[in-house]
């Protein structure tokens, strides 16, 4: 019979070749979920759907939705599922491979929440130390006293100013000190400054120190070294008691420098 009905019957087999869904099995469902994540982000997924996707690798040919919902019912929340022990997950029906995978998620989250390692300045050579001083101290006022706190690899933890009260060039000229005067200086600004530096070193877990003085214009570097002698000696005496090493005391002035350690002055 040649009519519209005949033409319609001929068209039906062609229509059946294009199903509504590419797949009705688990693989099609997984493909659609992946598409959602790619198009809308993981925030578009419900908790059970996130858990479904986490279970995909360990359950390659089976729908993971029933297990995901059962786990949420059993443990109460997604966080509780991810924080559960391997034994608890196995008892709830999770296979060995997925137990290992789910156990990785909290560790990954902790790692992502940890700040990246800080890239610290290496002060382990004279060239590095002097280059650092040239770069960072060019604009500081004369008379400034800095302390570099270093770790066990001579990498810079902090660079901080030492309060100038009582530690200026005029207040300590490195003269011979009598025992009575030395005892009287126990409460002096020098002692207080040393105590503050060492307390800060403990707080930073510093292994070593370098102190740097920018010499006064009216002082030669050598005279400035003599003026700082009491301060340096107090650090040398007390730092080892806290397992902190004083590497050196440096005096800088207009590109010239002096080192207590190299000069050997009371070191």
pLDDT value of residue 8 = 43
pLDDT value of residue 165 = 59
Q: What would the DSSP string read from start to end of 246-266?
A: EEEEEEEETTEEEEHHHHTTT
By DSSP bridging, strand 156-161 and strand 245-253 are unpaired
pLDDT value of residue 236 = 93
Domain 126-263: assigned CATH number: 3.40.140.10
Task: State the pTM of this model.
Answer: 0.53
pLDDT band for position 171 (50/70/90)? Answer: very low
Domain boundaries, the chain: 23-113, 126-263
For 92-114, how does the pLDDT look when each residue is reduced to its tens digit (9 = 90+)?
Answer: 888 888 888 888 887 777 777 66
The answer, yes or no, to whether residue 181 has pLDDT greater than 60, is: no
The answer, yes or no, to whether residue 139 has pLDDT greater than 90, is: no
Round the average pLDDT of the chain to a whole number and report it: 79
Question: What does R_g of the chain's alpha carbons equal in angstroms?
Answer: 36
Encoded tokens for 31: 């493909």
Q: What is the mean pLDDT of residues 13-38?
A: 57
For 241-258, how does the pLDDT look when each residue is reduced to its tens digit (9 = 90+)?
Answer: 999 999 999 999 988 899
The secondary element (H helix, E strand) that includes residue 4 is: helix 4-15
The answer, yes or no, to whether residue 3 has pLDDT greater than 60, is: no
CA distances from 106 to 86, 88, 102, 175 (A): 13, 16, 8, 62
pLDDT value of residue 264 = 65
Contact between 223 and 185 under an 8 Å Cβ cutoff? The reply is no
Q: What 3-state class would DSSP assign to 176?
A: coil
pLDDT value of residue 96 = 85
Q: What would the DSSP string read from start to end of 181-197?
A: HHHHGGGSHHHHHHHHH
The contacts of residue 35 (CB under 8 Å, 6+ apart) are none
Encoded tokens for 10: 């001929």
The answer, yes or no, to whether residue 144 has pLDDT greater than 70, is: yes
Contact between 260 and 248 under an 8 Å Cβ cutoff? The reply is yes
Q: What is the mean pLDDT of residues 47-65?
A: 79
């Amino acid at each position: 019979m040649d009519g519209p009905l005949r033409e319609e019957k001929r068209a039906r087999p062609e229509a059946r070749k294009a199903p509504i869904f590419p797949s009705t099995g688990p693989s099609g469902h997984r493909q659609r979920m992946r598409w959602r994540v790619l198009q809308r982000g993981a925030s578009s997924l419900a908790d059970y759907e996130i858990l479904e996707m986490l279970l995909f690798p360990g359950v390659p040919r089976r729908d993971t939705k029933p297990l995901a919902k059962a786990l949420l019912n059993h443990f109460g929340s997604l966080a509780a599922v991810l924080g559960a022990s391997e034994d608890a997950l196995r008892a709830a029906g999770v296979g060995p491979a997925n137990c290992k995978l789910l156990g990785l998620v909290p560790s990954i989250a902790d790692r992502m929440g940890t700040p990246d390692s800080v890239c610290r300045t290496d002060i382990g050579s004279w060239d590095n130390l002097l280059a650092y001083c040239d770069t960072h101290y060019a604009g500081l006022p004369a008379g400034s006293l800095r302390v570099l706190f270093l770790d066990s690899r001579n990498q810079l933890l902090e660079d901080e100013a030492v309060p100038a009260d009582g530690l200026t060039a005029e207040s300590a000229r490195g003269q011979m000190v009598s025992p009575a005067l030395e005892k009287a200086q126990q409460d002096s600004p020098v002692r207080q400054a040393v105590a503050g530096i060492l307390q800060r070193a403990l707080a930073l877990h510093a292994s070593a120190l370098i102190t740097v003085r920018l010499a006064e214009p009216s002082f030669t570097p050598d005279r400035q070294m003599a003026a700082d002698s009491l301060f340096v000696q107090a650090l040398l005496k007390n730092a080892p008691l806290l397992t902190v090493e004083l590497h050196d005391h440096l005096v800088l002035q207009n590109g010239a420098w002096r080192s207590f350690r190299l000069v050997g002055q009371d070191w």
